[in-house]
Amino acid sequence: MEKMDGKTMDIVAENVGKLKELFPEAFTEGKVDFEALKEVLGTFVDDRDERYSFTWNGKSKARMIAQTPSTGALRPCKDESVDWDTTQNIFIEGDNLEVLKLLQKSYHKKVKMIYIDPPYNTGHDFVYKDNFKDNIKNYKEITGQVDGEGRNLSNNPETSGRYHTDWLNMMYPRLKLARNLLKDNGVIFISIDDTEVSNLRKISDEVFGEENFVAELVWKRRVSSAMADNNVSADHDYVICFQKGDLKDFKGFQKDFKRYSNPDNDPRGPWILDNLTVGMNASMRPNQAYDLVDPATGNVYPFNPNRVWAFIPESMDRMIKEGRIVFPKDTSKRPMQKRFRDELKSTHNPFSTLMMDRVGLNTEATRNIQELMGGNVFDYSKPLSLLTTLIPQVCNGNDVILDFFAGSSVTAHAAMKLNAEESGNRKFIMVQLPEACDEKSEAYKAGYKTISEIGKERIRRAAAKIKAENPEYQGDLGFKVFKLDSTNIKPWEVDFDMTERTLEDFISNIKTDRREEDVLYEVLLKYGLDLTLPITEHTIAGQKVFDIGMGALIICLSDAISLEVVEGIAKLKDELNPEIMRVVFKDSGFKDDVVKTNAVQILKQAGIIDVRSL
């Protein structure tokens, strides 16, 4: 029986593997020979002291932190979930760095779009320091789940002297991890303002590649404020957009054909009059600088030396013959060309980086929150229209959208709204730190202790609103809640100090305060399985047996595995008839080695060879 390894995806090993595949000659006895690697790369190596680079204190540590595997687990929380059994949406409460690590295997290249609205680092927002020794413990201290040393957690004031550094150390590992989750044609959108936009561009260039920059979108957030310091009112934020590398296009917007008509019954269909000149002067395009003659009337239309005709004479003749040119009676006016709707190269206009008329101001966001939540429980959320504009540009009906700075969960709201409007099936993954609400805030008074509570409640209320507005809608309006915690399984916590371990520790390797479901989802993550796979619970000989992915994986975490249970699992295989089947037991679940050996034999006879323990 094979024993399961307890690590999340080992990113370093992955990287080494990739390098080895590319440059086998740079490896000697399994280690990298840097001199050899340099030789392979020829003149591409830049090791001068003075070279183009962007660095800050802690960058290597930040890089390292992104590569340390997580020791955490996501514990399911059915009570706070909606439609647990059927929903494909996920809300995870926890530090996004750890959560991104935990999702590395299960959601590797599965996410089509990431939208994040990270702290802008204005000095008042929450930027906490990762602890690269034990970040899970750090997380629990910060969120008040465990007593810590009492650090200044709530903000990152300009006076701290590590103003940009802290922010960069926070963002860099998260972006690196996020990139792994994007599909090859995936896209990330990041909201930001003037404070960190230049730094964000730089680290994004590094993480995603300069060539994968798509756009710096401008979101107008307010009308000019009279309170501007130097009489300059900064009224816009940015949404930085990078692609993973294989994005085809934004969808753009369907052209409006209202202006097209067909007054002369042209068999080619509706048309509009369009300019017949181009923005080139006569010296740039001498071939296109000629006097245009209407062959029907003999009228002469002189060329404009600053804007010559769009076509050379031969093409123009053909256009005239085909009846595509309209000559005005007055020769001082300009001839125009007919542009037919059916001949348009594209039925869509491009997406403008100035998102003025499609996206509302901050006041819309405030209104969104007030209307839905009955009070101003969340400041500076993004307007719903920002997300309902961005999502359809890159996401198709079945794509997965991730937001790991979920805040008030506006991304989830927008995804559900769009799904209902166009019967799509986009799925969302929200990640939010249970950051405490300020006791003076309206949110706190309204009963919300943490930001993640606001996020969850918003999804519930948005779902109810969508349902009320579309009573016929049958789509997914639920979400599964998971909470970050330390691993459920003891040996996975690397600890060399054995003195504190009790006898009980050696009997069972599962922590006593954890439920079977907790372990179940940990196993899913370690195997790299989607958290929303269908899971059916069977009761066999009084024991719980979970069937994941319609029979592909059977997990029994019982402490009293009898041969009846094992036979029941063999029978389950006949019933479900899956294409593959792996069975996982708890190592300590068997009464003795005889039962264990017999179990393996019984399953073998039923054609189940892949049997493991943890």
Partner 1 sequence: MPDNKKAAIDYVWNAISFPEAALLGKRVPKKQFLESGELVASDKKLFRENVKNVYWEYTLKPSTCPVLPYRDNEREYLEVAVLQVEMNSQKGHKRIAEIIHRIIPYPLMIGFYVGTTEHTEYTEKESINSVSSVSSVVNKSFALSIAPKRFSQTEQGAYVAERFYTTGWMHSGAFNDREAAFVASLAWDNMPLQTYGTLYNAWTDRFTGYECSVLSGSFTIGKAGDRLEQLTRCREIESRISELRGQLKKAAFNRQVELNTQIKKFEQELRQLAASL
Binding interface with partner 1 (CB under 8 A): 105-106, 527-530, 533-534, 548-553, 576, 578-580, 582
Q: Which is nearer to partner 1, 552 or 602 (CB)?
A: 552
CB of 549 to partner 1, least distance (A): 4
Q: Residue 505 and residue 498: Cα distance in Å, rounded?
A: 10
**CA dist list (Å): 457 to 82, 243, 296:** 11, 31, 72
Q: Based on CB atoms, which residue is closest to partner 1, 410 or 606?
A: 606
Specify the length of the chain in residues. Answer: 614
How open is the CA angle 550-551-552, to the nearest 5 degrees? 100
Kindly tell me which of 354 and 580 has the beta carbon lying closer to partner 1. Answer: 580
CB of 106 vs partner 1, minimal distance in Å: 7
Task: Report, in angstroms and rounded to the nearest whole number, the Rg of the chain calculated over CA atoms.
Answer: 31
345 to 322, 339, 349: CA distances (angstroms):
19, 11, 11
Taking the least distance from each CB to partner 1, the nearer of 134 and 575 is 575
Comparison of 550 and 563: residue with beta carbon closer to partner 1: 550
C-alpha 565/C-alpha 554 separation (Å) is 12
Pick the closer one to partner 1 by CB: 302 or 534. 534
CB-nearer residue toward partner 1: 360 or 551 = 551
Our CB check for partner 1 shows the closer of 105 and 382 to be 105
Between CA 255 and CA 468 the distance in angstroms is 32
Minimum CB separation of residue 528 from partner 1 in Å reads 4
H helices present in 435-562, as ranges? 442-445, 451-469, 503-507, 516-526
Residue closer to partner 1, measured from CB, 371 or 610: 610
Tokens of 262: 């067909």
Do 277 and 304 meet the contact criterion of CB atoms below 8 Å apart?
Answer: yes
Minimum CB separation of residue 348 from partner 1 in Å reads: 29
Would you say 331 and 373 are in contact if contact means Cβ atoms under 8 Å apart?
Answer: no
Least distance CB 558 / partner 1 (angstroms) = 21
Contact partners, residue 37, CB within 8 Å, separation at least 6: 23, 26
- Work out how close the CB of 579 gets to partner 1 at its nearest, in angstroms, rounded to a whole number: 5
List, in order, residues 6 or more apart from 357 with CB less than 8 Å away: none
